[in-house]
Amino acid sequence: MTDEPSDAQESRQESRHARGLRMLKAIHPQVGERVVDGVAAVSPDLARCLVEFPFGDVYARPGLDLRSRQIATIAALVTLGGAERQLKWHVRGGLNVGLNRDEILEVIQQMTIYAGFPRALNALTAAQEVFEEIEAEAAEEARQDDA
């Protein structure tokens, strides 16, 4: 069996929850906290789990850069299907960690091979919505700066 890790040792370092929140803010600065709060309103335990396991345990691991991780996540969500909400969240996350729009569209187009055209076309619509939301937000910010 695997060695039992020292929880005492962990507690002297950053907690899983603190590390998860830090990763969540790095990848999803705009929407991360809102998503977690929305989950917490129904199930505080699932919200805590969402911060600690995906973000605290997995994304925080050192073996793969965040840009590569977002490529993997976008590919997975396109393939999974029926996860447009999560895909939109991670398209934005991909842009946040250094992917550009064309790279995201390349990943989506490549998924025609593995997940088929319907999944890729649905993902394209989701990506387009994110791109438009970002432009609308930028326009709104520019409008407010002018005022």
Pull the structure tokens for residue 129: 């919505």
Residue 134 in the binding site for its own copies (CB under 8 A): no
Closest CA to 128 of 146, 101, 96, 97: 101
The runs of H, that is alpha helices, within 13-116 are 16-27, 32-42, 44-50, 66-80, 84-96, 101-115
Residue 121 in the binding site for its own copies (CB under 8 A): yes
CB of 24 to its own copies, least distance (A): 9
Compare residues 69 and 92 and give the one whose CB is closer to its own copies: 69
Residue 73 in the binding site for its own copies (CB under 8 A): yes
Convert residues 81-120 into a mask of x (bound to its own copies by CB under 8 A) and - (unbound).
xxx-xx---------------xx-xxxxxxxxxxxxxxxx
Compare residues 73 and 96 and give the one whose CB is closer to its own copies: 73
CB count, 10 Å around CB of 118?
Answer: 10
